[in-house]
Structure 1
Amino acid sequence: MSEFHEGLRWPNRYLQWAETAQALHGPRLIHRQGGEPLEGLHWVAHSANAAASLGWPADWWESVGPEGRHALEVFAGHACWPGMAPCATVYSGHQFGQWAGQLGDGRALLLGEVASPQGPQEIQLKGAGQTPYSRRGDGRAVLRSSVREFLCSEAMHALGIPTSRALCLVGASTRVARETVETAAVVTRVAPSFVRFGHFEHLAHHPQPGHLAALAALVDFVVEEHLPALAHLPKASTSPERPLALLRYAAESTARLMAQWQAVGFCHGVMNTDNMSILGLTIDYGPFGFMDAFDPDHICNHSDHAGRYRWRYQPDIGFWNCGALAQALAALVPDAAQDQSDGQLALLDALRHYEAVYETAMTERWCAKLGLHTVQPGDADLAQRWLKLMAGQKADFTIAFRRLSKFRPDLAPDAPDNAVVRDLFLDRRAFDAWANDYSARLALQAESQALRAARMDAVNPWVVLRNHLAQQAIDLAQRGDFSEVHRLHTLLQDPYTERPEGVRDADFPPDWAAAIAVSCSS
Structure 2
Amino acid sequence: MNAPATSLQLVKTPLVWNNRFHRLGERFFTPLAPQPLPKPYWVGKSQSAAALLGLNDGWTDLPGLLQALSGNQPISGTQPLASVYSGHQFGNWAGQLGDGRAILLGEAQGWEIQLKGSGLTPYSRMGDGRAVLRSSIREFLCSEAMHALGVPTTRALCVTGSDAPVLRETLETAAVVTRLAPSFIRFGHFEHFASRGQATELKTLADFVIDNFYPACRSQPTLGDNAYATWLQAVVERTAVMVAHWQAVGFCHGVMNTDNMSILGLTMDYGPFAFLDAFDPGHICNHTDRGGRYAFDQQPQVANWNLFALASALLPLIQDQALAEQALKAFDPTYAQHYQQLMCAKLGLAQTADTASLIKSTLALLRQDRVDYTIFWRRLSHARLSQNFEPVRDLFISRSAFDDWMLRYSEHIAQSAQVLEADLMLKLNPKFVLRNYLAQGAIDAAQRKDFTGVSSLLNVLSCPYDEHPEFEQMAGFPPDWASHIEISCSS
Give 1:38 shift: 1.9
1:394 to 366, 370, 377: 370
Give the letter for the 1:7 counterpart: P
C-alpha change, 1:433 and 1:3, in structure 2 (3 Å) is closer
> Matched residues in 1 for 2:385 and 2:462: separation?
32
- The 1-side partners of 2:408 and 2:168 are apart by 51
- What's the TM-score once normalised by structure 2's chain length? 0.95
| SS in structure 1 at match of 2:474 | coil
SS at match of 2:176: strand
The residue aligned with 1:189 is 179
Query: What's the offset of the Cα at 1:445?
Result: 3.5
How many angstroms apart in 1 are the aligned matches of 2:183 and 2:95? 22
206, 217, 224: which one pairs with 1:230?
Answer: 217
CA contact (8 A) 2:369 2:396 kept: yes
Matched to 1:437, the amino acid is R
Q: In the aligned structure 1, how far is the partner of 2:189 from the partner of 2:228?
A: 14
Letter of the 1:440 counterpart = E
User: Aligned partner of 1:105: which letter?
Assistant: D
Query: CA offsets, 1:405-436, max 9 Å, x none?
Result: 2335997xxxxx32100011100111111110
Matching residue within 58, 62, 82 for 1:88: 82
One-letter amino acid of the counterpart of residue 375, structure 1: Q
Classify the secondary structure of the residue corresponding to 1:152. helix
Given that 1:76 and 1:128 are in contact with CA atoms closer than 8 Å, whether structure 2 keeps it comes out as yes
Q: 2:4 maps to which residue? A: none
Pick from 188, 203, 208 the counterpart of residue 221 of structure 1: 208
Name 1:350's counterpart in structure 2. 327
Contact 1:296 1:311 in 2 (8 A): yes
Give the equivalent residue in structure 2 for 1:50: 49
Change (3 A) 1:75 1:423: same
Query: 1:467 maps to which residue?
Result: 436
CA displacement 1:122-174 (0-9 Å, x = unmatched): 00000000000000000000000000001000000110111111001100010
2:3 — aligned with what? none
Task: Judge conservation of contact 1:88–1:110 (CA < 8 Å) in 2.
Answer: yes
Residue aligning to 2:269: 284
**2:150 aligns with one of 150, 155, 160:** 160
Once the 2 structures are TM-superposed, how far is the Cα of residue 36 of structure 1 from its aligned partner? 1.2
Note the 1:137-152 alignment, pairs <5 A: 137-152=127-142
User: 1 CA distance for matches of 2:463 and 2:437?
Assistant: 19
Contact 1:240 1:333 in 2 (8 A): no
In 2, the alpha carbon distance for the partners of 1:124 and 1:271 equals 20
RMSD of Structure 2 on Structure 1 (CA): 1.7
Letter in structure 1 aligned against 2:41: H
Shift of 1:231: 3.5
Residues 468-492 of structure 1 deviation map (CA, whole Å, 9 limit, x = unaligned): 0000000000111101000101111
Q: Shift of the alpha carbon at 1:447?
A: 7.3
Say if 2:384 and 2:422, in contact at 8 Å, map to a contact too: no
| Cα deviation, residue 457, structure 1 | 1.1
Q: 1:109 and 2:103 equivalent?
A: yes
Q: CA deviation at 1:284?
A: 0.3
| Matching residue of 1:364 | 341
Partner AA of 1:39 in structure 2: P
Q: Deviations over 1:28-70 (max 9, x none)?
A: 2201111112222111111111111221111112212xxxxx0
Deviation (angstroms), 1:333: 2.7
Q: What amino acid is the match of 1:427?
A: S
| Structure 1: gaps spanning 5 or more residues | 23-27, 65-69, 335-342, 412-416
The separation in 2 between residues aligned to 1:259 and 1:502, in whole angstroms, is: 29
CA distance, structure 1, for counterparts of residue 437 and residue 386 of structure 2: 37
Q: What residue in structure 2 maps to residue 8 of structure 1?
A: 15
- The CA distance in 2 between the partners of 1:293 and 1:399, in whole Å, is 10
> What residue number does 2:406 align with?
435
User: What is the one-letter code of the residue matched to 2:245?
Assistant: Q
Shift, 1:6, TM fit: 4.7
Of the three residues 348, 352, 368, the one matched with 1:376 is: 352
2:364 corresponds to 1:385 = no
Q: CA–CA distance in 2 between the matches of 1:400 and 1:224?
A: 44
Whole-angstrom distance in 1 between the partners of 2:138 and 2:412: 40
Structure 2 residue ranges without an equivalent (≥5): 1-6
Q: Which secondary structure does the structure 1 equivalent of 2:44 belong to?
A: strand
In the alignment, is the contact (CA less than 8 A) between 1:268 and 1:287 conserved in 2?
yes
**How big is the shift at 1:190?**
0.3
Deviation (angstroms), 1:253:
0.3
Letter in 1 for 2:14: G
Aligned-residue offset at 1:80: 1.1
Residue 178 (structure 1) aligned with residue 155 (structure 2): no
CA distance in 1, matches of 2:365, 2:167: 43
Q: Counterpart of 2:390 in 1: which secondary structure? A: helix
Matched, 1:128 2:113: no
Percent of pairs identical after alignment?
A: 52
Could you say which residue in structure 1 is the equivalent of 2:280? 295
Q: State the SS of the aligned residue for 2:462.
A: coil
Paired residue type of 1:383: I
